[in-house]
Amino acid sequence: MKNKKIHGNVRDAALSILYAVENKQAYSNLLLNSTMDSYGISAKNKGLLTEITYGTLQHQMTLDYYLEPYIKGKLDPWVRTLLRLSLYQIVYLDRIPFHAVINEAVEIAKRRGHGGIASVFNGILRSIQRSGVRSFNEIADPIEKISIETSHPAWMIKRWSEQFGMQKAREMALENNRAPLQTVRVNTVQATPGEVIEMLESEGLTAESSKIIPECLVVTGGQPVRTQTFEKGFITIQDESSMLPAYALQVQPGMKVLDMCAAPGGKTTHIAEKLEGQGNVLAMDLHAHKVKLIEETAKRLGHQTIETTVGDGRESSERFGEETFDRILVDAPCSGLGVIKRKPDIKYTKTPDDFGRLQTIQLALLDEAVKLLKPGGILVYSTCTVDTEENRGTAEKFMNTHPQMEQIPAELPAAFKSKGKGFVQVFPQDFGSDGFFIASFRKTDGSIAES
């Protein structure tokens, strides 16, 4: 692909992002904002760029299935990416005329390749216009059918079907292709949710109270991160599910809390708000640049009870001393399969080999947390994945090797009553929030586990 960008062109910008994600292992969420700036995308077109980039990624395998009968021979990777991008607009967006999609694709193809490539685009897309796309009923195997229909790898659908049943696996995969809710958490130290709704409305946004988290607002119009309400620290961007750990910790003012894997700091600042200015929360992370993000967020929100440090949670008991903290949150590294609707590239990059490696890290963090926790203290283990091995599997292995830790009910807002009070698994299709897992434990005495 020739390096001839079309400045200000939404579809050429989307092509650059999608090509980098597939061929250079780039992350779509990180590339999107920088590409908007480098291409000079206008404010009114930023939403379209986001939609066609994520939409094409979300439906990538389905689009390949539709394209397969019309492609003869081998295509350069960028040509296939541009075909997917064009077909996504034809199949999933009804406000963009067919001729506009073809004209844009042909012009990009001429600039990035040559005239011969442009005629290939013209031929393939016009053939699809005449004949339509294939039916999923051509696929006999039920796992393969859901895989192609929802654009998730077959191994992932098979794994979820074995863990939760085929119907729930399909529901989850379909939900992952929907646009995520835009939610913010109100900084309750500074304002009430009602007051913040008025602030956002005065800046031209629309928002309503969340049905599941009291301090959460669902923003239905506008970009909250570009408001004075955000700049002045009245809100922080956070998914509803990610607000659960601060509840499960049962934090009280005056407590000493450790957030062991804290970046980017959303849960740390939520804990600080529960402390109401009394006590301390120590935010730790492996990477200095991520710790800096936590510090910037804490400063914007005006929280004085947050301290930060760079370090490995698996080696922290010697550093901080045993039985030091009243509450510990282990929001552990995980596969991230609960946040596919926000980061669709995850479903194409994870492999079955990841789960065992991640569980080893998760158990090592929990082992260290036990040493750091005071007798009677509460330890919360959470992940943003839906995988049973990483969630219930890790929690049960932890319980089996630490007799001084008892499982306790996860104290969550009333909307989560139907999820029970044991190990709580939130699926993306339950509330429209991220997939998430919570397990709560209490230390019954002061002895230290020997794993």
Q: Which of 219, 384, 386, 439 is catalytic?
A: 384
In a domain, 4, yes or no: no
Residue 331 marked in a binding site? yes
Number of domains the chain is built from: 4
In-domain check, residue 272: yes
Helix (H) or strand (E) holding 139: none
Predicted pLDDT at 1 = 73
Q: What pLDDT does residue 112 have?
A: 84
Q: Does the residue 451 lie in any domain? A: no
> In which domain, by residue range, is 192 found?
182-237
> In this structure, is residue 5 part of a structural domain?
no
> Are residue 117 and residue 230 in the same domain, yes or no?
no
What pLDDT is attached to residue 255? 98
Annotated binding residue at 290? Answer: no
Judgement on whether residues 357 and 384 belong to the same structural domain of the protein: yes
262 labelled ligand-binding:
yes
Domain membership flag for residue 357: yes
Q: Tell me, yes or no, if 384 is annotated catalytic.
A: yes
In sign, the C-alpha dihedral spanning 273, 414, 422, 391 is negative
Residue ranges of the chain whose pLDDT lies below 70: 446-451
| 219 and 232 housed in the same domain | yes
Same domain (yes/no): 318, 172: no
On whether both 358 and 316 belong to a single domain, the answer is yes
Same domain, 200 and 260: no
The span from the CA of 340 to the CA of 184, in Å, is 19
* Rounded Cα distance, 97 and 133, in Å: 17
Q: Is 419 annotated to bind ligand?
A: no
- Is 86 found in the same domain as 215? no
Q: What is the pLDDT of residues 95-145, one digit of tens each?
A: 888 888 988 988 898 888 877 788 888 889 999 989 999 999 999 999 999
Q: What is the CATH number of the domain that holds 405?
A: 3.40.50.150
Structural domain contains residue 80: yes
- Same domain for 167 and 312, yes or no, is no
Residues 120 and 162 in one domain: no
Question: Is pTM beyond 0.95 here?
Answer: no
Tokens of 128: 């699809």
Whether residue 285 is annotated as binding a ligand: the answer is yes
302 assigned to some structural domain: yes
266 is in an annotated binding site: yes
> Of 191, 206, 237, which closes a domain?
237
The predicted pLDDT at position 451 comes to 36
Both 163 and 263 in a single domain?
Answer: no
pLDDT of 29 = 79
CA distance 355 to 387: 8
Q: Are residues 416 and 280 in the same domain?
A: yes
Is residue 334 marked as binding?
no
Angle at 32 (CA atoms; ends 182, 207), nearest 5 degrees = 15
Residue 448 located in a structural domain: no
103 and 63 in a common domain: yes
